[in-house]
Amino acid sequence: MSCWRVLQLSDQPNAEQIPQLLIKPRFDTDAYTVFLTDLSNIWSEELELAGIVDRALEEESPIEVSKKDTGQLAILLENVRNSLASNDDTSCLMTRDTKDGVTLHTTIRLPEPLDSLRWTFRLRKRTAVTLKDELILPLLVSSHIQHDRLNGLISTIADKDRAITRLVDQYESSNLDLTAAFPSIGSLKSGRRVVKREQAARHVPGLQAFDQDSWKRNTAELQDTDVSTLGLFQAALLEYNPKVPRQLLSEDESNVWWTTIKTAVEMPKSSSKAKPKAMPNPPPKPVTADSETEEEETDDEFEVHENFKVCLLVPGCNVLSAHP
């Protein structure tokens, strides 16, 4: 599974103008896709068999491939992928291509008597949708998976606490000494008194009951205050790069919703032709000396709307909150 990693560029002019970049190469048996990002923008190149063969001919590759003879295609793609790694046998330079595109020029040393393999990755700038699907969504999915793993781990520890408690209680009810199971605490025993769990737990951490609240408090803050944004990103997807479910991916449409919103609020215009609704005349009331004026009660009409139900996507949220 392909993962994001730091792209190490070789020494080149104006290197200080290039920010730290991340790259995610995805190679198949007869195709590849390479993504490049600076965490704000994203570029990519996708090549299938025909494009790879044409690129190999263009670069005069010492590893010969053709559309009819793909016997060495796997070897070629393996070296093309390895050319993006940073070591003594490779080099990687960047140039600008068109208005928004960039080009990676890689070289990898091949075993003698073959010449070095040069390859050109022509990456085109993609939309924010690609950035979301390839970078942001995997981070969110990974965070959600880690949250589920954490909850599962806490549940497992609680189950083990219950099992250990039952075993220790059985030991003590049978007047058995815990030093039989944990010889390292034998020094706690004085005379003929048996060692209880409370004594043993001070020397055997595994016998201590797991305090979930205390553990959450002690792990609620970032420990490494010197970590960078890049470091946070690498840690988030260091060992796991989840596959984003298809239904979460967005369609790359040319029209964006915010271009259709008006720039000013339009107030409703009053019409001189509009007449207020005539109210029915109340029936005449007899006039008497003791009569009191009664207020006419009218029912205001309200349009009832169903409350919108919003799920707050934060850790620990498992209820729907209704907002009027």
Which residue has better confidence, 268 or 224?
A: 224
Residue 30: exposure state from Cβ atoms within 10 A (0-12, 13-18, ≥19): middle
- Structural domain spans, the chain: 5-126, 131-219
Q: Are 195 and 175 in contact (CB under 8 A)?
A: no
Average pLDDT over residues 44-58: 96
pLDDT above 90 (res 103): yes
pLDDT of the residue at 324: 41
Reported as a pLDDT band with limits 50, 70 and 90, residue 246 is: confident
Instruction: Name the β-bridge partners of 5.
Output: 23
Residue 71, both tokens: 């016997």
Rounded distance between C-alpha atoms, residue 250 and residue 245, angstroms? 11
CB neighbours of residue 222 within 10 Å: 8
Can you give the chain as a three-state secondary structure string?
Answer: CCCCEEECCCCCCCHHHCCCEEEEEEECCCCEEEEEECCCCEEEEEECHHHHHHHHHHCCCCCCCCCCCCCCHHHHHHHHHHCCCCCCCEEEEEEEECCCEEEEEEEECCCCCCCCEEEEEEEEECCHHHHHHHHHHHHHHHHHHHHHHHHHHHHHHHHHHHHHHHHHHHHHHCCCCHHHCCHHHHHHCCCCCCCCHHHHHCCCHHHCCCCHHHHHHHCCCCCCCCCCHHHHHHHHCCCCCCCCCHHHCCCCCCCCHHHHCCCCCCCCCCCCCCCCCCCCCCCCCCCCCCCCCCCCCCCCCCCCCCCEEEECCCCCCCCEEEEC
Residue 143 is predicted with a pLDDT of 84
pLDDT of residue 274: 47
How far are the Cα atoms of 133, 146, 254, 260 from residue 257, in angstroms, in the given order?
Answer: 18, 33, 10, 6
Q: What is the pLDDT of residues 279-313, one digit of tens each?
A: 555 555 555 445 444 444 444 444 444 443 433 33
Which pLDDT value is given to residue 145?
83
Domain covering 5-126 in this structure, CATH number: 2.170.210.10
Q: Which residue has the higher pLDDT, 230 or 255?
A: 230
What value does the mean pLDDT take over residues 257-267? Answer: 57
For the stretch 79-97, pLDDT in tens is 999 999 989 999 999 988 8
Is 90 exceeded by the pLDDT of residue 232?
no
- The pLDDT, as a whole number, for residue 292 is 47
pLDDT tens column, 129-188: 999 999 998 888 888 888 888 889 999 888 888 888 888 887 777 777 667 666 666 666
Q: Is the pLDDT of residue 254 over 70?
A: no
Written as six digits, the tokens of 236 are 């988030």
- For residues 133 and 42, give the distance between their C-alpha atoms in angstroms, rounded to a whole number: 11
- Whether 70 has a pLDDT exceeding 50, the answer reads yes
- The pLDDT-based confidence of 195 (bands split at 50, 70, 90) is low
Residue with the bigger pLDDT between 1 and 63: it is 63
